[in-house]
Amino acid sequence: MAEQRWSVSRRTFLRGTVAAGAISAGAVAGAPGFAAPPGRRVAVLGGGVAGLTAAHELAERGFEVTVYEARALGGKARSVGVPGTGRGGRPDLPGEHGFRFFPGFYQNLPDTMRRIPVPGNADGVWSNLLAVPEARFSRRDGDDILLALPDSLTAIQVTPDSIRESLAATITTATKMPPAEGAYFANRLMVFNTSCEARRFGQWEYTSWHDFVRGNQRSHEFRALISRSLTSIMVAAKENLASTRTIGSMGEQFLGNPLGHGNDGGLDRVLNNTTNTAWIDPWVQHLRTLGVRFELGARVSELVVRDKRIQSARLADARTVDADYFVVALPVEQARKLWSSEVLAVAPELSAMDRLFVDWMNGIQIYFRTPLRISRGHTAYVDTPWSLTSISQNQLWTHKLPSFGDGSVADCLSVDISDWHSVGMLYGKPATECTHEEIFREVWAQLSSHLNDREQLLRPADVHSWFLDPGITWQGAQNANADPLLINTAGSWDARPNAHGSIENLFLAGDYVRTDVDLATMEGANESARAAVNALLDVSGSNAQRCTGFKLRRTPELEPLRAVDASRYAQGLPNLFDTPT
């Protein structure tokens, strides 16, 4: 269950804090050249969602915070302008690492968003979220599935039997699978949802989702929709690698949302503008008012250890960062480069991070001169070799696309490429070996094979231009990727570090840190940063109120069955619903 929300505003609370060295956030903002009392200086290394969250929580509690970021604030969540496309005073066309969405079960991130003020928005940037009404599963040479998504969710009374029956009926109707397949998947969901915590960590953590749903024994339709598409479109994971504990937990949240469990809003939400306009820019501005300082172009190259503490950090340009506490908020592939032999001598547990797996999941935006009518939400292209998903954005934004670029762009199809290693349709090569032009042509061919088999929804003559994530760069005979994504794998919980370990003044924030959501998400980054700040408050002896920590929800009606499962697991017996068929 979530901790109780604040009964007073955090700024009000901080003004009443009398702990040694504590100051109000307002004092920081109003004191140029302010120097924090000894023991209050924090260096946040990395300016993505995790780093900005840590800075936010610390600044509200009176710490002097400086964020060091090598490239751009917002990390993979930021908007990316397409260079040189702006005309007549218009901003450049908006690009991005890939589209993002905010499921209704997110709790930590929305709490932060409500505390980022925006003129005219009572709930800050949270008010810039909107629920999309549908999702489309597009098939090649087959009937597409259009799912209506509820935007008004209320709790209902349920029983275990009604849950299973409703799941089976919904799956069968929504996916057009045979009733036996729908009933089978509903039963697998019941196996997981009635599993106790000990079984989830002891058995399902080490079982891949593909093996759990026994995908190799099911129909092609089942594998395409349930085993593959749901993992790629809903949680950006790979079904043959991801642990059942993690994917099952995400499914539990999605299913609980319409039942009224853990709702923060509609099942599938997006921002009503470019990410920077709707969220990142107001956030950075608010942090500046709290006294947070930003150092851009600051790439961390080394952590200096002395007396089992981090004495300083060194930047690539030879500058030294001195602070009392260090929060490493870098992506996992960057963070573990900092674990020198000196760091590992004090914190040997960090060496396990080498077992964490990253892979490519980047996006391409295609700009059109005419509006698109593909879906009023996200679309998954079920049979595509590169596991494509997309969303058309102009219909969702208050800042319409003709106000960008040269004024002739009417829509943008933002496409995520989830599989960079399978051979494509046109060139017989994976995306990693295709030039940028070949990637665009391959993506276009795969989209067209799905959308133009009944009517021509995509027309080459309507294409204005396209933009590939700038993290993808062509080097020699293949691409390099500056922004890979942490990929959940079965058993990876053992390799994930806690937010605070053996080094007293070192704290970790990022989606690779142990969190309840346990997935590469903005929610996980935010949750981990809250844990890092709470650990820092403990170490510093601060009596400031700790960050609220929200946990994933469980369907309460199934709790008696989880108690039964705890007894069965202790006896070495399978879950009550886990039958061989």
Q: Is the pLDDT of residue 173 over 90?
A: no
Backbone φ and ψ for 166, nearest 5 degrees, come out as -65, -40
As a whole number of Å, the end-to-end CA separation of the chain is 35
Q: Supply the pTM of this predicted model.
A: 0.90
Domain map of the chain by residue range? 10-71+297-356+497-540, 79-106+127-132+361-481, 154-262
The mean predicted confidence, pLDDT, of the chain is: 87
The span from the CA of 50 to the CA of 78, in Å, is 13
Q: Is the pLDDT of residue 395 over 50?
A: yes
The span from the CA of 100 to the CA of 80, in Å, is 14
The span from the CA of 518 to the CA of 496, in Å, is 9
Q: Is the pLDDT of residue 361 over 70?
A: yes
Task: Return the percentage of the chain with pLDDT > 70, whole number.
Answer: 84
- pLDDT tens-digit map of 525-554: 999 999 999 999 999 999 999 999 999 988
Give residue 11's pLDDT: 34
Segment of 26-40, 161-175, 491-505 carrying the highest mean pLDDT: 491-505
DSSP conformation letters of 481-510: ESS-EEE--TTGGGGPPPSB-SSTTEEE-S
Amino acid at 294: F
Give residue 561's pLDDT: 95
Q: Is the pLDDT of residue 68 over 60?
A: yes
Q: Is the pLDDT of residue 345 over 90?
A: yes
Q: Which two tokens stand for residue 212?
A: 């759990």
Question: For 208, which DSSP code?
Answer: B
Question: For 117, which DSSP code?
Answer: -
Give residue 244's pLDDT: 94
**Beta-carbon neighbour count of residue 426 at 10 Å?**
14
- What's the pLDDT band for 31 if we cut at 50, 70, 90? very low
The span from the CA of 185 to the CA of 260, in Å, is 22
Q: Give the pLDDT mean for 230-252.
A: 78
Measured CA distances, 81 to 68, 86, 92 (Å): 22, 9, 5
DSSP conformation letters of 18-68: -STT---HHHHHT-TT--PPTT-EEEEE--SHHHHHHHHHHHHTT-EEEEE
Give residue 239's pLDDT: 72
Q: Is the pLDDT of residue 576 over 70?
A: yes
The span from the CA of 150 to the CA of 265, in Å, is 10
**Cβ 72 vs Cβ 78: under 8 Å:** yes
Question: What is the CA 165 to chain-centroid distance, rounded?
Answer: 31
DSSP conformation letters of 232-278: HHHH---TTTSBHHHHHHHHHHHHHTTTTSS-SS-SSEEESS-HIII
Buried b (16+ CB within 10 A) or exposed e, 389-420: bbbbbbbebeeebeebbeeebbbbbbbbbbbb
Amino acid at 408: S
Give residue 36's pLDDT: 45
DSSP conformation letters of 412-461: EEEEEE--SSS--SSSSS-GGGS-HHHHHHHHHHHHHHHHTTTS----GG
Collapsed DSSP state (helix, strand, coil) of residue 301 = strand
Give residue 120's pLDDT: 92
CB within 8 A of 92, min separation 6: which ones? Answer: 81, 82, 83, 84, 85, 86, 404, 405
Residue 499: exposure state from Cβ atoms within 10 A (0-12, 13-18, ≥19): buried
- What's the pLDDT band for 6 if we cut at 50, 70, 90? very low
- pLDDT tens-digit map of 444-464: 999 999 999 888 999 999 999
Backbone φ and ψ for 46, nearest 5 degrees, come out as 125, 130
Question: Tokens 């790979």 map to which residue?
Answer: 238
Q: Which two tokens stand for residue 267?
A: 């099942």
Give residue 378's pLDDT: 93
CB within 8 A of 581, min separation 6: which ones? Answer: 184
User: Measuring CA to CA, which residue among 109, 26, 21 is closest to residue 60?
Assistant: 26
CATH superfamily of 10-71+297-356+497-540: FAD/NAD(P)-binding domain (3.50.50.60)
Q: Give the pLDDT mean for 315-323.
A: 97
Q: Is the pLDDT of residue 256 over 80?
A: no
Collapsed DSSP state (helix, strand, coil) of residue 446 = helix
- State the pairing for strand pair 362-368/411-417: antiparallel
Collapsed DSSP state (helix, strand, coil) of residue 433 = helix
Give residue 252's pLDDT: 85
Q: Is the pLDDT of residue 10 over 90?
A: no
User: Measuring CA to CA, which residue among 451, 356, 358, 379 is closest to residue 232?
Assistant: 379
User: Measuring CA to CA, which residue among 453, 454, 359, 458 is closest to residue 415?
Assistant: 458
- pLDDT tens-digit map of 73-89: 999 999 999 999 999 99
Amino acid at 547: C
Q: Which two tokens stand for residue 184?
A: 């089978």
Lowest mean pLDDT among 139-143, 184-188, 198-202, 467-471: 139-143
Give residue 19's pLDDT: 32
The span from the CA of 459 to the CA of 356, in Å, is 42
Give residue 8's pLDDT: 32
Q: Is the pLDDT of residue 169 over 80?
A: no
Q: Is the pLDDT of residue 106 over 80?
A: yes
Give residue 151's pLDDT: 52
CB within 8 A of 549, min separation 6: which ones? Answer: 2, 3, 108, 527, 530, 531, 534
